[in-house]
Chains A and B, each alone.
Chain A
Amino acid sequence: MLPASLLGAVFDLSRRPHYVHWHFFQMSVTNLLVIVLMIVVFAAAILLPFPHRRAEP
């Protein structure tokens, strides 16, 4: 495995993964982050005002 710097990665994500456990539920921190981000982006998409022109009749 070549060092991250040689292949352009600023952060090396190939290290030991981190996981969250709750009863039988297990998920990687990264995957959890992705899901949370999806929910946040969805909420932002429907709440943030969308710039638009005046409507023509």
Chain B
Amino acid sequence: MSAADEPRPARVPADARSWTARLRTRAEGAMPPERLLPDRQPSYVASWIYVFGALTIAALLLIVASGLILGLKGPAWWHVTAIGRFFNGIHLWGVELFFFTMVVHLWGKFFMGAWRGGRSLTWVAGAVTFLISIAAAFTGYLSQQNFDAQWISTQAKDGLNSVGIGAFFNVTNFGQMYTFHVILLPVAVVLLTAWHVLLVRRHGVVPPYVRQLAAEAPARPSEERA
């Protein structure tokens, strides 16, 4: 009997030696489609504060899109055309909105104790994203090629030089700062944001603090992982 005559099984079991199969199985286990894109949330997710994470991502998308246009036309464009100035405005106000919504999101997550239930890494990822975003904004200010960039670079160099960072990160070197700003740091921010969001999807939105009502016994002593 040839191979073509044998009935094909409904699902081919994964070859334990195949790296591809093992990676796929692991990814599916950690993040099945319903967990990656759920269409339901626990009933306690019912507050405007929950929207600020999405608003921050929206602002980041706007920053990247407007930044792409500014980059495509080169760093001098926005100084000499009205349309360039317009997109520079979108980029700047996008950044202001980004930090605004990110800070409100951060305050909300802090007062919800969102690191509980095995979600410490989610907090860590978010906090690191915040810090890297500050660095990305900083290199943006340095890339402006105007008086503000002149002043910020000649001032900031002292802080960075004092701890040796200035030896390899030269804020008065426009070429270096521009490269950090349009490629290196945006990639870092986007990857960190993606990691943060995947962690939120993985562990779910943190449940409310267990409220001790007067007549009840104390809460369980051990902390369970989601």
Contact = CB atoms under 8 A, between A and B. Distances in A.
Contact between A and B in the complex (any CB pair below 8 Å) = yes
Interface of A: 6-8, 34, 37-38, 41-42, 44-46, 48, 50, 52, 55-56
Interface stretch (B45-53, B186-194, B208-216): B45-53
Contact of A8 (B86, B96, B108): B86
B85 A46 contact: no
Contacts of B86: 7-8
A56 B107 CA distance: 30
B82 interface: yes
B214 to A, nearest CB: 25
Given A7-B82, A38-B100, A45 B43 contact: no
A45 B82 contact: no
B46 A44 contact: no
A35 to B, nearest CB: 9
A52 B46 contact: yes
| Consensus secondary structure, chain B interface | helix
Interface of B: 40, 43, 46-52, 82, 85-86, 89, 96, 100, 103-104, 107-108
Nearest to B48: A45
Given A6-B82, A8-B82, A50-B50, 19 more contacts: A7-B82, A7-B85, A8-B89, A38-B100, A42-B104, A42-B107, A42-B108, A45-B47, A45-B48, A45-B49, A45-B51, A45-B52, A46-B47, A46-B49, A46-B108, A50-B46, A50-B47, A55-B43, A56-B40
19 contacts: A7-B86, A8-B89, A37-B100, A38-B103, A41-B100, A42-B107, A42-B108, A45-B47, A45-B48, A45-B49, A45-B51, A45-B104, A46-B47, A46-B49, A46-B108, A50-B46, A50-B47, A50-B48, A56-B40
